[in-house]
């Protein structure tokens, strides 16, 4: 099957090879409780994360580089993924959190179509936003909470960072579709049940681009909560863009936070400088993933 699911449109043969995303199907790299998401996602019991290996964006600075740029893990079909989703949903967490699934959103839609009616917790779709609107429409009614990044505004910057000069136009169209599907944020005991929460990671030397991102969000919908993240750290050395080899300066982040309020945004989250740590990066162990899959019963 030729794959043109995401905006890359690489036409890869999913049965015989790998596309830009680096995978030939849905590969799980980690399943487990994550307590470091935003408070309305992790809450007191954690978020039940399902990390997909591979990525259609592959940012130079990716902090999950181990599985996004060099994908590894356990391959699953839609039925097995549905089993995993049910298992996670029943583990006491606040939600099922599907991380980096743009390149396999068709498999995700199939899996959720099988098991969604049995879930007692919300489904969170955690994405870079490099998604086609067409693919997102296939998730309508299956995803409760969208957790999209809005990484860049500048075409040059997005071309340099992820070889996607069209990132901003693609991502903003995707976020508009997510908001159409979930027009209001609904909470229960502080946990987001339905809605959209936009994330933006402030990067070294890129504060002016951060301001343009915040300009767009404020013009689009001032009620959107925004998670303005300070947790960047150099995951690997970058010889071409040396500014990526340092952490964020405190004045850069303060500047971004001040601008957030200046453009009229009032809802969201900020972080302390101490957030720039590898503690936020999960451990991606193939052996652990395989052992967990062996434990999860087959229902589909």
**Bridge partners, residue 199, by sequence:** 149, 227
- d(CA 275, CA 229) in angstroms, rounded, equals 8
Are 7 and 132 in contact by the 8 Å Cβ rule? The answer is yes
Chain-centroid distance, C-alpha 153: 18
| Residue 6 labeled ligand binder | no
Following DSSP, what letter does each residue of 243-259 receive, concatenated? GGGSPPPHHHHHHHHHH
Instruction: Provide the pairing of β-strand 2-3 with 12-13.
Output: antiparallel
| Assigned token pair, 203 | 């990067």
Alpha-carbon distance values, 294 to 72, 284, 298 (Å): 17, 17, 10
48 backbone dihedrals φ, ψ, rounded to 5°: -85, 90
- d(CA 263, CA 212) in angstroms, rounded, equals 10
| Residue 153 labeled ligand binder | no
Q: Which residue has the tokens 């992820």?
A: 162
Q: Which residue has the tokens 């850069």?
A: 252
> Of 144, 230, 138, 139, nearest to 187 (Cα)?
144
| Residue 55 labeled ligand binder | yes
Instruction: Provide the pairing of β-strand 96-99 with 74-75.
Output: unpaired
Q: Which residue has the tokens 């591979």?
A: 54
Residues at the annotated binding site for [4Fe-4S] cluster?
A: 55, 59, 62
Residues at the annotated binding site?
A: 55, 59, 62
């Amino acid at each position: 099957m030729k794959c043109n699911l995401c905006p890359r449109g690489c036409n890869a043969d999913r049965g015989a090879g790998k596309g830009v995303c680096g995978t030939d199907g849905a590969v799980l790299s980690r399943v487990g409780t994550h307590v470091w998401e935003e408070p309305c996602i992790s809450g007191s019991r954690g978020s039940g994360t399902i990390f997909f290996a591979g990525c259609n964006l592959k940012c130079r600075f990716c902090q999950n580089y181990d599985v996004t740029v060099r994908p590894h893990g356990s391959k699953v079909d839609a039925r097995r993924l549905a089993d995993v989703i049910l298992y996670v949903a029943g583990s006491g967490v606040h939600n099922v959190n599907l991380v980096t699934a743009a390149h396999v959103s068709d498999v995700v839609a199939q899996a959720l179509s099988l098991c969604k009616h049995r879930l007692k917790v919300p489904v969170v779709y955690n994405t870079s936003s490099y998604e086609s609107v067409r693919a997102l429409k296939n998730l309508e009614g299956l995803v409760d909470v969208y957790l999209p990044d809005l990484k860049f505004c500048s075409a040059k910057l997005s071309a340099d960072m992820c070889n996607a000069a069209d990132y901003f136009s693609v991502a903003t169209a995707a976020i508009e579709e997510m908001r159409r599907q979930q027009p209001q944020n609904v909470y229960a005991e502080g946990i987001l049940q339905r809605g959209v929460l936009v994330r933006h990671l402030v990067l070294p030397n890129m504060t002016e681009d951060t301001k343009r991102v915040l300009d767009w969000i404020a013009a689009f919908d001032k009620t959107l909560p925004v998670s303005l993240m300070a947790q960047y750290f150099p995951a690997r050395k970058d010889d071409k863009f040396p500014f990526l080899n340092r952490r964020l300066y405190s004045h850069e982040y303060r500047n971004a936070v001040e601008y957030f309020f200046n453009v009229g945004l009032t809802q969201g989250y900020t972080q302390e400088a101490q957030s720039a740590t590898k503690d936020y990066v999960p451990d991606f162990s193939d052996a652990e993933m395989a052992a967990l899959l062996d434990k999860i019963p087959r229902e589909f």
